[in-house]
Amino acid sequence: MRFDSYHPAINLIYFAVAIGCTVWFHHPVFLAISYVCAFVYAVYLSGKRALLLNLVLAVLIVIYTGWYAYYHHFGVTPLRRNIIGNQITLEALAAGLAIAVSAASVLMWLSCLHVICTSDKVVYLFGRISPTLSLFLAIALRMVPRIGERARRIHTAQRGIGRGTGDGNLLRRLVNGIRIFSILVTWLLESLVESAASMKCRGYGLRGRSAYAIYRFDNRDRGLVLIFTVCISVLCGAVLLDQTQIHYNPQILMNRITPLSGIFYAAYAVFLLLPMAMQIIGEARFDRLAAQTAAGDDTHGN
């Protein structure tokens, strides 16, 4: 039941809807649900690294909200005056917070997308539609983690001969940093040329070229698509009833929260949390089966 084991088209649909709703829905409840779900899912997939990134994003949310409210003066609910005498309003503060939370949520969803949609899935999804685009995306996704590793290697080698970014005075450090960056860019260009030439020699991108894929759309995928369809249909009802939007200028205006609104919020939360729940259940089932297999092997061994 691991979500990353489902058909790549389902993975793509999920993240497309999640990111699209995060950008389109301005209602604070929907934004809060999207932010919390993206935060938890990213930490679950990537661990401490994602947690650190998400905490940095939380700090940036606070900074952007303060900056937005400081320099935008619309609204009818003044809170205080800034240094130059302009009003800081509640409406501007809320609008800045909504924009910042939406942007941070999108970045966290993209980090989850990078983990779930691997390069082979990208090649499968776009290979038949646009082989050139598929090749470009595959090379780009493969290159991102390699750039960081190569940069660390180059810096270690340069530091070993006294040319690291921490050696010498300020001017010398700047020159060393530029040299390391130049070496990294040269390696990156050579690697891209070699990858493109290698794929061209294999006939990639030729018209009529067949492609082998390990993915098959089965009943399990159809069941998940049905659940997603129900959730998306409920969200479409929320859009039609104007339950997903809010106005901040000149004052905060939104539809009243009703019991029907709770259904919309629940459907949105279920849609966003379902893949993580499936991932947890699938891993727990795998661990249980592995433990049972190990116990059985010990019994037969004795």
pLDDT tens column, 236-275:
998 888 888 888 887 888 878 888 888 999 999 999 999 8
- What pLDDT is recorded for position 155? 86
Does 25 score more than 80 pLDDT? yes
Round to whole Å and give the CA distance between 60 and 149: 27
DSSP 8-state secondary structure symbol assigned to residue 202: T
Q: Yes or no: say if 91 and 251 are a contact pair by the CB < 8 Å rule.
A: yes
Residues making up the chain, counted from first to last: 302
Closest to 267 in 3D by CA, of 233, 223, 244, 220? 233
Round to whole Å and give the CA distance between 36 and 41: 8
How many Å from the N-terminal Cα to the C-terminal Cα in the chain? 33
Q: Are residues 225 and 96 in the same domain?
A: yes
Q: Are residues 239 and 110 in the same domain?
A: yes
Q: Are residues 109 and 233 in the same domain?
A: yes
More confident residue, 103 or 206: 103
For residue 301, is it within any domain? no
Q: Are residues 104 and 20 in the same domain?
A: yes
- What pLDDT is recorded for position 204? 65
Q: Are residues 77 and 10 in the same domain?
A: yes
Q: Are residues 108 and 165 in the same domain?
A: no
| Selection from 36-40, 134-138, 211-215 with the highest mean pLDDT | 36-40
Q: Are residues 99 and 12 in the same domain?
A: yes
For residue 111, is it within any domain? yes
Query: Last residue of a domain, which of 199, 228, 254?
Result: 199
- What pLDDT is recorded for position 76? 79
Q: What is the average pLDDT score of the chain?
A: 83
The tally of domains found in the chain comes to 2
- What pLDDT is recorded for position 184? 86
Q: Are residues 90 and 52 in the same domain?
A: yes
State the residue range of the domain holding 166. 129-199
Q: Are residues 20 and 49 in the same domain?
A: yes
Query: Last residue of a domain, which of 151, 166, 199?
Result: 199
Q: Are residues 102 and 41 in the same domain?
A: yes
Residue type, 99: I
Q: Yes or no: say if 196 and 139 are a contact pair by the CB < 8 Å rule.
A: yes
- What pLDDT is recorded for position 19? 93
Q: Are residues 164 and 254 in the same domain?
A: no
* Weakest-pLDDT range from 58-67, 122-131, 166-175: 122-131
Going by pLDDT thresholds of 50, 70 and 90, the confidence category of residue 300 is low
Residue type, 29: V
Query: Last residue of a domain, which of 164, 199, 234?
Result: 199
More confident residue, 199 or 147: 147
For residue 212, is it within any domain? no
For residue 141, is it within any domain? yes
Going by pLDDT thresholds of 50, 70 and 90, the confidence category of residue 298 is low
Does 103 score more than 80 pLDDT? yes
Going by pLDDT thresholds of 50, 70 and 90, the confidence category of residue 36 is very high
- What pLDDT is recorded for position 134? 67
For residue 213, is it within any domain? no
- Residues 119-123: what's their mean pLDDT? 75
- What pLDDT is recorded for position 169? 83
For residue 287, is it within any domain? yes
Q: Are residues 5 and 111 in the same domain?
A: yes
For residue 214, is it within any domain? no
Beta-strand ranges (E) seen in the chain are: 78-81, 87-89
For residue 206, is it within any domain? no
